[in-house]
Amino acid sequence: MNFSAADPLAQAVRRLSANDRAGAAAIIVKLAEQDGHLDDRWGDVAKLAATLGEVSAARTAMRRYVAMQPYDTERRLAYGAMLAQLGHVAGAIKATEAFLPNAPRPDARLHHLIGTGYAQLGQTESALEHLRMAIALSEQPELTAVSWLTIADLKRFEAGDADIAAMESLATDLGDQTLSALLYALGKAYNDLGDTDRAFETYARGARLARARAPHDAAGSRRFVDEVIAGFTADALAKLPATGVDSDRAIFVLGMPRSGTTLVEQILASHADVVDGGELNLFRVATTELGGYAPADITRMAFRPDGAEAWARFGAAYLHLLNERFGPTGRVVDKTLNHTRFVGVIHQVLPNARFIWMRRSPGDVALSCFRSHFAGGLAWSWSLEDIGRHMADEDRLYEHWSQLFPDAILTVPYEELVADPQPWIARILEHCGLPFQEGLDAFHQTERAVITTSASQVRQPINTRAIDQWKRYEKHLAPFFATYGQPPP
């Protein structure tokens, strides 16, 4: 971005760099409302507005950006990607499909965006059609690999499947940086065939390539967890100022990835009083002013002269961001990753919030995480030892927060939920203050976008097939159990 000193967009960027989200948002919203002559810089306004969670301003700015050159593919891709990022997946598909006949030339990226959107909506046939078109048109190996990865999640492979041969052939031509995603797709194929040894080695190759690019800082992560547990005690939290924000709109679903969090999200989102949810990442946006989430950061903010007002601002900002994304009515499920580290702060800002913490067999969680190519990139998932360390820290956080907030946190064992869903669904609804509703065990029929690696699983009726899958890979999981702890005999 190139700005003059008096440029309001530059001022917004500087305010955000100084952790002043509210100040930056005020400037961006005013720019969108005034419809000034920003020309191509409307794209920058849209990106910043999306980062700030200001959905209305982001959509307004992006529409103006596209209108400057309505037949430009890059702008249309940016528009579709932003809509999907903000949770408007159906809108992203509609807008991009409408552009296809007007595109200057066929473009693999347009079909990949549409195919990914259909996959998130559970419309498998349409997703596969566009993803295969993306592969046929693609001149970018990385896009091709990610398209194959999405296809692999949507289907079950059988012996002699031509898709396996196609991926194996492609793998010989890819460099290390692109190969990782394709190897996860091939690992899924070999797993479907029952070839666990080959599947595991393929996953492991993909993980090693990813880890080489961005290794996990296990020591730093553990230090932060140590600080949280030592610093956020009952006495320390009691000294923090109250916010006065009494909303219970958000329902926070916690737990390791692949522990059933998306399953509970889908069950809740099927309720008439819940509008939607997902990995929102809005609480961290609302609390940008903190600058950090260690106990020292919280104490520093709490005892500023405007400390009490700051906590109230955080709560009001989070609720505003929910309104921006979902409208003003209905409960919302927030299952943002890493919220397990911020439970104390969340509870302080939103004291009436309800938490659901999913717990699942460590072996099944570890195996599923190791076999998942997470879109956002979870560096701890690329090594069985790192998974073991991360899960051990998550266990410590669970014990800590459960002792501090026993009334706010409901523990839900995954195995019990899928084996006998009705009693647990009733307990979840009661804990969240939602009226009982029949038919929530048919959550797989709910039409909504699911933007996680569990998207295909929650389109299936509730079942117990995923229980004890780790035992097929027990010998391969030895490094995990050596780090985390041995499995039960």
User: What architecture (CATH level 2) is domain 218-484?
Assistant: 3-Layer(aba) Sandwich (3.40)
Task: Please tell me the predicted confidence (pLDDT) of residue 135.
Answer: 97
Task: Please tell me the predicted confidence (pLDDT) of residue 175.
Answer: 74
Question: Is residue 330 a contact partner of residue 263, using CB atoms and an 8 Å limit?
Answer: no
307: confidence class by pLDDT, cuts 50, 70, 90:
confident
Question: In whole angstroms, what is the distance from residue 435 CA to residue 60 CA?
Answer: 37
What crossing angle do the helices spanning 162-171 and 176-192 adopt, rounded to 10°? 150
The answer to whether residue 311 scores a pLDDT higher than 50 is yes
Residue 321, C-beta contacts closer than 8 angstroms, at least 6 positions apart: 53, 282, 285, 286
Residue 487, C-beta contacts closer than 8 angstroms, at least 6 positions apart: 362, 363, 470, 474, 481
Question: In whole angstroms, what is the distance from residue 292 CA to residue 296 CA?
Answer: 9
Question: Is residue 320 a contact partner of residue 249, using CB atoms and an 8 Å limit?
Answer: no
Task: Please tell me the predicted confidence (pLDDT) of residue 303.
Answer: 82
Out of 149-158, 324-333, 355-364, 367-376, pick the least confident. 367-376
The per-residue pLDDT of the chain, averaged, comes to 92
Question: Is residue 322 a contact partner of residue 282, using CB atoms and an 8 Å limit?
Answer: yes
Task: Report the pLDDT averaged over residues 215-244.
Answer: 92
Residue 93, C-beta contacts closer than 8 angstroms, at least 6 positions apart: 80, 114, 117, 118, 121
Out of 1-5, 220-224, 282-286, pick the least confident. 1-5
Task: Report the pLDDT averaged over residues 113-127.
Answer: 94
| Cα atoms in the Cβ-side hemisphere of radius 13 Å centred on 338 | 14
Task: Report the pLDDT averaged over residues 97-115.
Answer: 97
* Six-digit token string for 19: 């952790």
Q: Where are the domains of the chain?
A: 8-213, 218-484
Give residue-wise pLDDT tens across range 391-431. Answer: 999 999 999 999 999 999 999 999 999 999 999 999 999 99
The answer to whether residue 1 scores a pLDDT higher than 80 is no
Task: Please tell me the predicted confidence (pLDDT) of residue 5.
Answer: 47
242: confidence class by pLDDT, cuts 50, 70, 90:
confident
Task: Please tell me the predicted confidence (pLDDT) of residue 448.
Answer: 52
For the domain with range 8-213, which CATH number is right: 3.90.550.10, 3.20.20.70, 1.25.40.10, 1.10.3720.10?
A: 1.25.40.10
3-state secondary structure the chain: CCCCCCCHHHHHHHHHHCCCHHHHHHHHHHHHHHCCCCHHHHHHHHHHHHHCCCHHHHHHHHHHHHHHCCCCHHHHHHHHHHHHHCCCHHHHHHHHHHHHHHCCCCCHHHHHHHHHHHHHCCCHHHHHHHHHHHHHHCCCHHHHHHHHHHHHHHCCCCCCCHHHHHHHHHHCCCCHHHHHHHHHHHHHHHHHCCCHHHHHHHHHHHHHHHHHHCCCCHHHHHHHHHHHHHHCCHHHHHCCCCCCCCCCCEEEEECCCCCCHHHHHHHHHCCCCEEEEECCCHHHHHCHHHCCCCHHHHHHHHCCCCHHHHHHHHHHHHHHHHHHHHCCCCEEEECCCCHHHCHHHHHHHCCCCEEEEEECCHHHHHHHHHCCCCCCCCHHHHCHHHHHHHHHHHHHHHHHHHHHCCCCEEEEEHHHHHHCHHHHHHHHHHHHCCCCCCCHHHHHHCCCCCCCCCCCHHHCCCCCCCCCHHHHHCCCCHHHHHHHCCCCC
The answer to whether residue 282 scores a pLDDT higher than 50 is yes
